[in-house]
Chain A
Amino acid sequence: MAEEPAASDVLSLDELEAVSGARTGRRHLLSVLVENKPGVLARIAGLFSRRGFNIETLAVGPTDDPTVSRITLTVDGAAHPIDQVTKQLHKLVNVLKIRDLDPDETVTRELALFKVSADDGRRAEIVGVADIFRGKVIDVSKRSVTVEITGTGAKIEAFEELVRPFGLVELVRTGETAVTRGRLVT
């Protein structure tokens, strides 16, 4: 038998652990900076569909730099390995930067418009609920009232639950957008 190699050279293969490729089990909010060029959104949407990744929400808008747009999207980390999603996104040449936002370090907001049926004298009640949620009444008609709610997805869902019994005619949501807390750039 040869001599044992020096202690620092010994490595039991059992100690090695697989890195990444795992499902995290939680929802992930990805903030993606992309070049503001035609077709970029189509590339991202196409990538998600052909790889079988499901986008839960998606919000797109300009940034302070006119050549750059920001796409904020949420993906279910129970269904997909998030590192695969981000690595595939990174392969798109027009994708500049991806942040998988830490929920504790992030402020998220979404805007929702609720059109609630209000034809039997229940308008005051609905406005009352909207007030509690700091909602804004933005349109009133004989048979409906439309309320704007801004907040986290959870807040919007809570409001939805409360107004549903009145008769929800329509609900329009923008999808969440987000920014990191503090001085740190998203």
Chain B
Amino acid sequence: MRAVDAIVECLKAEGVDTVFGIPGGANLPTYDALYDGGVRHILCRHEQGAGHAAEGYAKASGRVGVALATSGPGATNLTTAIADAVMDSVPCVFITGQVRTDMLGTDGFQEADVTGITMPIVKHSSMIRDPRDIPREIHEAFHIARTGRPGPVLVDIPQDLSRADIDYEPNPALQLPGYQPKSEGNVKQIRLAAKALANARRPVIYAGGGVVSAEAAAELTELCTSDRFPVTLTIMGLGAFPAPHEQWLGWLGMHGTRAANYAMDEADLICAIGARFDDRVTGKLAEFAPRAKFIHIDVDPAEISKNVPAHIPIVGDAKRILPKLVREYRALEADSSRLDAWWERIHGWQERYPLTYEDSDDEEIKPQFMIEAIHEATGGEAIITSDVGQHQMWTAQYYPFSAPRRWINSGGLGTMGFGLPAALGAQVANPEATVVCVAGDGSLPMNVQELATCVMEDIPVKVFLMNNFYLGMVRQWQELFWGRRYSAVDMGTSPDWVKLADAFGATGLRATEKSTLLDTMRQAIETPGPVVLDVHVSKEENVYPMIPAGAAARDMVG
């Protein structure tokens, strides 16, 4: 069988129903196999879009996302999505075409050293050297992408090798002697962690995107509610613990709530689960949680003690570890009343510093109001993707997520232009769901070409554009830290988003007044097919509260 037909067979064996990509010279053979191979291919308009679509697909479904690109520029266009996937631990397989083996290293047409370029931003990669290895390498890529700490794996296939004839045997044995992710967690350490929790007077459970990846949201909730443990999540973890809950402190870090950040600051024990103490969470590391001891549960041993030294490290899969921790904790029958004073203190912060904003007293739409309206219009049930900037922070603040995999954003890399293609991928994975992309007017143009993909493939995503006519987040920093010198942040009024949507064959709508906003949103959701709703919001609103970069939680402003 042709090696490329074997690739399609491998994809099917891995349960892949859809791939995203763009063909070109070096991967023509693969596209020939896809022509009637039985896997849906979605033709994106830019390989970055295909890459983020694969991520959106993966984040919304928990399955491995797949994107294809040709050699040279096709593959280099993928790199932003690959870097995004490695930062947010998204399971993706990227299959790139490469020039023929006799041209490798000669600067041949459309040659780029893609395994070299992507080496620092993949979980693993390989370049095929023998066509007989192709099936095994494809399966290994899937295995590595989805197990342990998930991440992107790239397989680069020279054009001539992809045309070779090979004997295809389904399910070849994997050859990964150096890859054995741990899952169970050390029992003694789990017992010690339970004991520490039972003896803590000011504990906080701090969980992140790892809990979502591990499909361990229910197990996390079980742990948190096995006592009255205060819970905070990273922006990547939203939905892993239901937001409207009496033990929920809000998310933490730069634009998190005061209650969450102050609780971390005063905690005597922090139980970190699938979170990596990113600088957006810790602020100034030397002053982060100065009174706390740390339990750190993570599937990636290298995360433990990387930024913050752990006292009780537990390496493994949260889904396996948390139930054991709950059992050990329950057996200790700790007295809940030891947490009374702690809750009193937390309630004090929650009352004094609720998440709130000053609404306009006219028709002006405040950005926070817009997010609340989205929550109302979708009944809190939508899958929400976002671009990067102020709108991302406001969405995370004002749209309470009650279940995992409903909030899809670019947290680690902070990639503008992520939202629309990610929404496309999420919608493909969940055809029945309402998928809303909260876009920024600076971010949306970066991958707006994917509107064409949505129209052509009948992918009915709803783009709710928070239009403040600025690169808002940068403007906010210039206002606060650079003496209001607004350098290169004015986005002006181009394009006319309604006309642009129309030109793509999507529906364009506009909302400029508070009183009609909700109705227009409902109309957008009810309109079949992709919609762009251009919402004009206050131009110079800032995201608060805020820990200025490099400051400590105590120094929150706003």
Contacts and interface: CB of A to CB of B under 8 A. Distances in A.
B293 A87 contact: no
A88 B305 CA distance: 12
A35 B301 CA distance: 21
A96 B178 contact: yes
B200 interface: yes
A21 B309 contact: yes
A93 B176 contact: yes
A18 B302 contact: no
B337 interface: yes
Contacts of A50: 120
Interface stretch (A8-16, A102-110, A154-162): A8-16
B149 to A, nearest CB: 8
A145 interface: no
A178 B117 CA distance: 33
Contact of A38 (B129, B198, B306): B129
B317 interface: no
A21 B305 contact: yes
A19 B309 contact: yes
B481 interface: no
Interface string A14-30: 00111111100000000
Given A2-B337, A35-B178, A21 B310 contact: yes
A96 B176 CA distance: 9
A94 interface: yes
B119 A42 contact: yes
B31 to A, nearest CB: 27
Contacts of B177: 35, 96
Nearest to A97: B178
A84 B301 CA distance: 9
B268 interface: yes
Contact of B199 (A12, A19, A21, A22): A12
Contact of A11 (B116, B196, B337): B196
Nearest to B189: A19
A90 interface: yes
A38 B127 CA distance: 9
A92 interface: yes
A5 B334 CA distance: 7
A16 B192 CA distance: 10
Interface in B285-330: 293-294, 300-302, 304-306, 309-313
B269 A13 contact: yes
Contact of A43 (B119, B127, B312): B119
A91 interface: yes
A13 B124 contact: no
Nearest to B177: A96
Contacts of B350: none
Contacts of A100: none
A46 B269 contact: no
A9 B115 CA distance: 52
B325 to A, nearest CB: 15
Contacts of B312: 16
B301 A90 contact: yes
Interface in A62-114: 81, 83-84, 87-88, 90-97
Interface residues of A, number: 35
Nearest to A39: B115
B178 A13 contact: no
Contacts of A97: 178
A22 B333 CA distance: 35
A45 to B, nearest CB: 10
A16 B313 contact: no
Given A9-B332, A50-B120, A84-B306, A16 B178 contact: no
Nearest to B192: A11
B313 A10 contact: no
Nearest to A49: B120
A88 B120 CA distance: 12
B79 to A, nearest CB: 15
B504 to A, nearest CB: 39
B362 interface: no
Nearest to B336: A2
B335 interface: yes
Contacts of A10: 199
Contacts of B306: 21, 84
A22 to B, nearest CB: 7
A93 to B, nearest CB: 5
B302 A19 contact: no
Given A16-B312, A46-B120, A5 B305 contact: no
A90 B179 CA distance: 8
Interface centre among B144, B195, B312 (most CB of A within 10 A): B195
Interface in A132-169: none
A5 B177 CA distance: 47
Given A38-B129, A91-B300, A18 B198 contact: no
Interface string B431-450: 00000000000000000000
Contact of A18 (B144, B192, B195, B310): B310
Given A2-B337, A84-B306, A88-B302, A16 B196 contact: yes
A4 B179 CA distance: 46
A78 B200 CA distance: 34
B311 A17 contact: yes
Nearest to B315: A87
Given A18-B305, A84-B302, A9 B195 contact: yes
Shortest beta-carbon contacts, A-B, top 3:
A21-B305, A18-B309, A87-B302
Given A5-B334, A11-B199, 11 more contacts: A2-B335, A5-B333, A16-B196, A18-B310, A19-B309, A20-B309, A88-B302, A93-B179, A94-B178, A95-B178, A97-B178
15 contacts: A2-B337, A5-B198, A16-B293, A16-B311, A16-B312, A18-B294, A18-B310, A18-B311, A19-B313, A20-B309, A20-B313, A21-B309, A35-B177, A87-B302, A88-B302
